[in-house]
Amino acid sequence: MAQNAAQQEIVVDRVGMDYGGGSEPAIREISLGIRKGEFVSLLGPSGCGKTTLLRMMADLLEPTSGGVGIAGGTPRQARLTRKFGIVFQTPALYEWRTVRGNVELPLELAGMPRARRRERAEELLELVGLGAFAGKRPRQLSGGMQQRVSIARALAADPQILLMDEPFSALDEFTRERLGEELLGLWSRTGCTVVFVTHSIAEAAFLSDRVFVLSARPGRLSAEVEVGLPRPRVGSLRAEPEFHRLTSSIRQLFGEAEP
């Protein structure tokens, strides 16, 4: 893995997470590499450590063994130099700020002057289809709209990596699929690397270049699936037989992984 580290945006090297206390480790020896500009999913049932792995990349957790390299440095360096944006499972918007104010938050930290900040935030909101809602409060928006604001905020400071922790799991199926399609549009425009955590096979298959399939107890990498579906992908792809073949083959991987 070290030899092609040049094109690798994220390298996970024999990472383990052991909370101790005699219980099984949450993660055992996971190694994987993610290329620059790639869209990958970490897919697995709850307890497989997919969120834990993402949090390690984001420097919100430290592995008990092994190491994570991201954007050519440690997660800590990447965080301090603001190389990645993050979208949580909940929108995590500050309700005392307007929608625009929430998107401006990373720009404020970057020291951007007020007028440009405002302009940039509105441009981003336009991009996620919420241009008309800039002055609203977060709680005046639906769950799907709130998560869009959260994505706009994560992209505000133009990060080269976007980390997403089950961002659509609290949304209904229709909203979820629409947001997935919008996300692909954003991704192709920004060219950033996306790591997307999900427990939905269809979602992972629809969005990703590659899917890392994790299994639980202990969390480990059980398969790596190359998604050959052509891009740009649109909603009708979900009805195609090749899409079904792909999702059922991934589903079979889980069947094998379970004891």
Q: Which residues bind another protein (CB under 8 A)?
A: 58-60, 79-82, 84-86, 88-90, 92, 94-97, 105-106, 108-109, 136-137, 139-140
**Calpha distance 133→249 (Å, rounded):** 41
Closest distance between another protein and the C-beta of residue 97, in Å?
8
Instruction: Closer to another protein by CB, 14 or 76: give it.
Output: 76
Closest distance between another protein and the C-beta of residue 95, in Å?
5
**Calpha distance 21→14 (Å, rounded):** 21
Instruction: Closer to another protein by CB, 92 or 237: give it.
Output: 92
Closest distance between another protein and the C-beta of residue 163, in Å?
8
**Calpha distance 93→43 (Å, rounded):** 26
**Calpha distance 124→99 (Å, rounded):** 11
Instruction: Closer to another protein by CB, 59 or 181: give it.
Output: 59
Closest distance between another protein and the C-beta of residue 103, in Å?
12
Closest distance between another protein and the C-beta of residue 87, in Å?
10
Instruction: Closer to another protein by CB, 140 or 252: give it.
Output: 140
Closest distance between another protein and the C-beta of residue 233, in Å?
29
Q: In what order do the strands lie in the sheet with 210-215?
A: 84-87, 161-165, 193-198, 39-43, 210-215, 220-226
Greatest distance between any 2 Cα atoms in the chain: 58
**Calpha distance 133→235 (Å, rounded):** 26
Instruction: Closer to another protein by CB, 58 or 183: give it.
Output: 58
Element holding 122 (H helix, E strand): helix 114-127
**Calpha distance 236→234 (Å, rounded):** 6
Tokens of 44: 């697995």
Instruction: Closer to another protein by CB, 80 or 234: give it.
Output: 80
